[in-house]
Structure 1
Amino acid sequence: MTLSPLLDLGVSTPILAAPMAGGPTTSALVTAAARAGGLGFLAGGYRTADALAEQIVQVRADGVAFGVNLFAPNPVPIDRDAFRRYARTIAPDARAHGVDVLTAGITEDDDHWSDKIDLLLSDPVPVVSFTFGMPEAAVIAALKAAGTVVVQTVTSAAEARQAEEAGADLLAVQSSAAGGHSGTLTPQHLPAPVPLTDLVGQVRQAVPLPLVAAGGVATPADATGALRAGAAAVMVGTVLLRSDEAGTSRPHRTALADPAQRRTVVTRAFTGRPARALRNGFTDRYTDLAPAGYPALHHLTSPMRKAAAAAGDPEAINLWAGTGYRRATAEPAALILQRLASGL
């Protein structure tokens, strides 16, 4: 498979760094990915347009190609009674970290969507990728007219066909093994546990667009397998969480390195949207009780998670991690990416 249009951006090694919102992705990590021959994506999620613009300036100063990832609006409105019940349920954990969730209001925002699109149209970047939802075709067309390559995250062949019809240039094919949020367009349902190579094959049969495979890629063999299945490149995130350039919190790094036999679980407990994380006390207590409801649950639990992270408590924070998390190592990102490419 050809890397085009990635080749036009100077990508020589088909190992890309995934955007990881909430802190792990830094401008230094994006630059390191580019200098290793790949491409990195700034994580625009949970940032204002001004904060994103500052990161764009930082990466541009390094003189490398890069991408920006946005959360496209695809809200799952929450029932007010369900929200209140869940707030009461998690209240003891929140109080233990000095947070009162019982008085929290329901926030149903769009993550500064219009402001970020305006930014990327007025000051175009090489690549923009979308997850959670799919932009209107007019937004995709406007970005492409500005010279931007558009990547859409999909989790099934049906979503791939929608993205092709909307005008996407490339597809990021994300399997359920991926760490963090699933990019599914139907977050009311848990993503099907289809192996990445099988999913790439299904999407390849459905659409002719170049594919970037993501989810559970942690070894050279994983990368090679995805490329042989028909992907033009692979995208990795979890294996970079402990890298020198990542902004991953200390308790998150410690949990990833913990020799205890933690496993990963898919949970809505933190945000109301399916996401894969290391199992901890919060996921054990609330995964089966959390209603679907994004971004309302994200805003409800965010103050508690920030307080727990500051206190170094891994049992009340979202320890996002894919199934290959044991391969995450504490070293420069370039070495991690080069090792993944060693079997190509």
Structure 2
Amino acid sequence: MLFLGLAEAAAWMISPPPKPGLPKGMFDVGPDGYWRMSPGFQGVMDNRVDFTNAVATADSEGRRIVPAAPKSAERRLLVLGDSQAFGHGLSDAESWPNRLQEALNHRGLGVAVSNLAVPAINIDQYLVRMKVMAPTLTPNDTVLVALSWNDVITPPSAQDSNRIVEGYLVSGAAGGDESAARARVRFYDFTGVLVPQFQDVKTFLDALSQSSALVGVLYPRAKAIYYRLRSHSPVTDLVAAGVPEANFLMIRQMSEIAASRGSRMVVVLLPERMFFEDEAFALYSVNGRDFPTADYQEALARPHCQTHAVQCLNAFPLLHDHYREGLVFPVDGHYNARGAALIGGWLAGELY
């Protein structure tokens, strides 16, 4: 016990663990059942290791502020997505929807970008939001659906597992007992210590790595060993079960709603660094053993884009070409300011 205590203290001095980066009260559920930022909210995202003063602001309707957006414009670009589109760890100005708006302004295009993305949600919530905003859509609108890797491989039955507890986003995998979840949140509020609940090994270790510096240091190395020793990737089972197909059926519903209003819908595939960074892909895929290509998200999505006649853009070539410039937060893994600027500028040329 003494040795572990000393090792933990040493790890804290060398590499403190990240803490949950999203402030309390940042999100709520709107009257029509969709997730949004709390209307009028302003707060700071801080995970202690990657970002510490990232200001996030919501307008009166619960949309994240896009500072460069004009007050009025002939056309609208409505962004639906999760944390990568929201700009997790980035200030309002650094998010890629705002960088996209800046690029559109520079080109003199009369388009106003609206950031409707919310961390921790999936395609089911995108569909809910699309149904709610359908009556307001016009032929001058474009809906941009930002698909992360989780969106493609999360089973529909698990997509509503996250919830808001005492003002915090909490994973449903952390336990279904609401009173226990509230107790853990209140303890975190009081002590700053995140108490993990054992639901499964991965969930437990993910949470523990945000409380223990020693686990935070050892956990990535343990995962690398696990990847090498496992007989096959769990993604194989998800693909065989038809999860990507099921998710793209919801995408198709969204496309049909947009088309019924004369609007355009475009999907952009936003891969994780475990694919577009060569070293990370070699580790995650065990040198290509578990995945046939680094651009695996595109390989899964493209046939469904074609089958359902959905326009899909793929950010993998862009990110792969520039990955040595450092496009993600080293610990957190979300796109950093450099990665967001790259994506925003690229999308401006692809969309208009």
Which range, TM-score by smaller chain? under 0.3
Q: TM-score, normalised by structure 2?
A: 0.27
Higher radius of gyration, 1 or 2: 2
Q: TM-score, normalised by structure 1?
A: 0.28
